Amino acid sequence: MKKFIFNSITVLFLISTGSVIAGEISVGSVTPLTGKLAVYGEGFQQAMLLAADEINAAGGIKGNNLKIVFEDNNSTSKGSVSAIRKLITIDKLPLIFGPASSSNFLAVCPIAQDNKTILLAAESAAAAITKCGSYVFRVFPSDLLQGVGVAELTNSLGYKEVVLTYVNNDWGVGLAEVFKAEFTASGGKIIDELPHGEGKTDYRSEILRMKRHNPKAIVNLTYIKEGATILKQAYETGLNVQWLMGSASKSPKLIDLAGKASEGVIGTYPTFSQETPQYKTFKAGWEKKYPGKKTPVFGEYNYDMVKLTALALESAASDSSDDIRDALIKVSQGYIGTTGDKSFDESGDVNASYGRWTIKDGSITDYK
């Protein structure tokens, strides 16, 4: 019995110090495997494992197998903090895939940065992540890029003069700044610009102000609840314009709340082509490993994140986080993954291309 316990402890010790075992290179991942995001977490994990399998089948990294140490965060910020502390202090991993949802990700950012541990995001969009620090990267486009996307949309629809309204917080103000710069640079004119409060139930005064200028189009950079309330009350006050919105309001909930007042809204959202050879390889790999299963939400981003990490580990001069970080920036330049160009800029963000959505007959469809 004693021997059994001793052996078990030895085995456990060997497992938990994965990065030490010869023939294996380990990276960490804080993933929501329980809690309210667990429905997504399972898909993220499967996509990451698919990428790891492909890497290992192709000879691994410098002859070693890539291993991802998953740590559950119970879908909470608190759970994410304890999970990343374990991965950094006990497993001593130089690179960690961060948790989904921007607030959970932002909770672990300072810890990774302080410990000089590389942190990657595959599904967090908040603009604040850009400022997290030099060890933080994401393969998912920042919300700020949407400002550019909406400006391009406005131009291509031929609207030269618009009223701009945005939710009055860091995210909304930042997004509006980007839109304004981009739109005015291309010759557009903003007739009036007004912030609207977050979570209010009455936007009639704001709507009246928008209406005063008789605009043909209104750019409304906001969330779902605020967006729906504005659309509804604008409809009631007879304001008939073309609404242009971002991806934060793209949700069936918008239609639930605003009803027919949401008909005809046009917006942008980050997207990628499903016709590229990279995507087809991913799709084929997925169908082989998980037959009959649909590709998960953000699965492509998780897949790209692992693939890019493997390239960085392969070309890094040593296994120190600084060397891996330098290698990561280098290999990302011009790297085309499943979700497009993943070249990191100086703040660790990637570029994106945008698709267009509209609401037609009570459902969200692609705008053509």
> Site residues (CB under 8 A) for other proteins?
168, 194-197, 199, 201-206, 208-209, 212, 225, 229, 232-233, 235-238, 257-261
Smallest separation, CB 100 to other proteins (Å): 20
Smallest separation, CB 223 to other proteins (Å): 11
Instruction: Calculate ∠ Cα 246-275-265, nearest 5°.
Output: 20
What secondary structure, in 3-state letters, does 217-250 show? EEEEECCHHHHHHHHHHHHHCCCCCEEEECHHHC
Residue closer to other proteins (CB basis): 173 or 329: 173
Smallest separation, CB 163 to other proteins (Å): 13
Tokens of 32: 């929501």
Residue closer to other proteins (CB basis): 203 or 298: 203
Give dist(CA 1, CA 3) in Å, integer.
Answer: 5
H/E run at residue 134: none
Give dist(CA 364, CA 269) in Å, integer.
Answer: 12
Smallest separation, CB 201 to other proteins (Å): 4
Smallest separation, CB 174 to other proteins (Å): 16
> 153: exposed, middle or buried (C-beta count within 10 Å: 0-12, 13-18, 19+)?
buried
Q: For residue 13, how many C-alpha atoms fall within 13 Å in the half-sphere facing its CB?
A: 6
Residue closer to other proteins (CB basis): 204 or 280: 204
Length of the chain: 368
Residues 6+ apart with CB under 8 A from 177: 147
Smallest separation, CB 211 to other proteins (Å): 8
Show the DSSP H helices in the chain as ranges: 2-16, 38-57, 77-85, 102-114, 145-156, 170-185, 204-211, 224-236, 252-258, 277-289, 299-315, 321-332
Nearest to 295 by CA among 74, 43, 21, 116: 43
Smallest separation, CB 232 to other proteins (Å): 6
CA 183 to chain centre: 24
Tokens of 114: 């302080």
Residue closer to other proteins (CB basis): 142 or 229: 229
Smallest separation, CB 194 to other proteins (Å): 6
Residue closer to other proteins (CB basis): 66 or 258: 258
Residue closer to other proteins (CB basis): 158 or 238: 238
Residue closer to other proteins (CB basis): 210 or 217: 210
Give dist(CA 143, CA 305) in Å, integer.
Answer: 18
Residue closer to other proteins (CB basis): 207 or 328: 207
Residue closer to other proteins (CB basis): 115 or 249: 249
Give dist(CA 37, CA 15) in Å, integer.
Answer: 27
SS3 52: helix
Smallest separation, CB 250 to other proteins (Å): 17
